[in-house]
Amino acid sequence: MPENRRFRQTWKEHVCHSGLKVIVIEKKGFSTSGAMLITPYGSLDYIQEDSSGREYASPLGTAHFLEHKLFESEDNDVTRQFSQIGANVNAFTSYSETAYYFTTGESHVEKPLNMLLDFVQNFAVTDASVEKERPIILEEYQMYQEDPDGRLFQESMRGLYHCHPIREDIVGTEASISAITRQDLEAAYARNYHPGAMTLVILSAADAEELIETVEKNQSGKQFPHQEKYVRKNWQEDLIPEQLCIETVMDVQSQKTAYSFKLNSAGMTAAQRLEMEWGIRFALDSWFTPMNPLFQTWLDEERITPYFSTDTDSAQDYAYLQIMDETAKADELREFILRQLNALCEKGISEEHVSQLKRRTIGSNIRLFDYPSELMNAWARSTVTNVSLFDEIDVIEHLTADRCMEILRSLDLSNPACAKLVSR
């Protein structure tokens, strides 16, 4: 059984005859058990291509709508079934994945494990149930529209991207949610829920072999048609932002401004993207946080507020760096950010800072292993990117100050898009 000694963690991996990949994380001494069934199909995959390049399109928000509807089976309320045995069941949709999971205080998970596999591997959605769900999802959409931070992020992405689906919320738009049909859900399900495309991550104190046997037995009783591989449409975007400034008026008191830089991740492997993210993160943390003696001066001179922050994220077809603050003085913020980024690129960061940031990150990763649900989630999501949690630590440990700066200096940081949230 594989073991990481430093993190004192063992696990077992197995591929079922159905193609389903299973990972069992051993948690001896813990009462909590759980499992997460994840497919690499998220909101950005609303247009997919097969190996011949043929496109399959569905309305924006289909992945999220499907996640809601899979909880419906012909004769049973899935949530109630899980609750009857004391298991919490839930799901989430993100940009690149949809995941279904349960957690329970019981160490015997054979029953909920079978239930999870059975409800996700059974499409039983009716036209009537789609109509019933639509107003609920529209309410959910409205809820996200009211969230100031969520809106700022969304408008930032609209400013950066011309056509990439990251421009829209994971739940879709009002129009697309209204347009989704049962047939869209069924087609998306057929393309993305084949066991060969999915991974099941189990966390338990129980014997790993027995758990794998349970899963294998469940899968052997089911028939799955041959599955073609579908991939996300290759969105071609240049590095020029779609719109240099977007102003959104909301009923808020605290005004916000974000500057976002579009980065190039095309052709990078997942490990290279991860190195880019951490390199940028370390460089920005070293300069734009209290690690920099100037940070307090910036606060005292009111160039920034205590809520000044930076963020970066990347995937195969998008990457961005974002710097935000609670201010409506967008021009002043822009000038400050560009000047400081120039100074950072010129002066660089110290090995001492990189070493400090590594200690911080490693400490926080060690503590992650004490939180079963978070660990299961992080492990499952790492299967979608194909970079394990331990590989990520390796990437971090190999970073040097020079490498971080090399990464940062390779970026075009001259042309940010601005998103402003202003009071009515």
Residues that bind another protein (CB under 8 A): 6-8, 27, 29-32, 77, 79-80, 83-88, 103-106, 132, 135-137, 139-140, 142-143, 145-148, 250-254, 289-293, 295-296, 299-300, 305-307, 326, 356-357, 359-364, 366-367, 369-372, 424
Closest CB to another protein among 2 and 86?
86
Closest CB to another protein among 269 and 305?
305
Nearest distance in Å: CB 102, another protein: 10
Residue 144: CB atoms within 10 A of its CB come to 13
Nearest distance in Å: CB 295, another protein: 6
Q: Which residues have CB under 8 Å from 334's CB, separation 6+?
A: 259, 416, 418
Q: Where are the beta strands (DSSP E) in 164-228?
A: 199-204
Q: Pick the closest to residue 410 from 237, 268, 236 (CA basis).
A: 268
Kindly state the helix (H) or strand (E) to which residue 175 belongs, with its residue range. helix 174-179
Closest CB to another protein among 84 and 410?
84
Nearest distance in Å: CB 35, another protein: 14
DSSP code per residue over 325-390:
ES-S-HHHHHHHHHHHHHHHHHH---HHHHHHHHHHHHHHHHHHTT-HHHHHHHHHHHHHHT--HH
Nearest distance in Å: CB 372, another protein: 6
Closest CB to another protein among 132 and 222?
132
Closest CB to another protein among 203 and 208?
203
Closest CB to another protein among 244 and 249?
249
Rounded Cα gap, residues 383 and 21, in angstroms: 10
- Specify which residues 102 forms β-bridges with: 35, 89
Q: Which two tokens stand for residue 152?
A: 């700022």
Nearest distance in Å: CB 368, another protein: 9
Nearest distance in Å: CB 84, another protein: 6
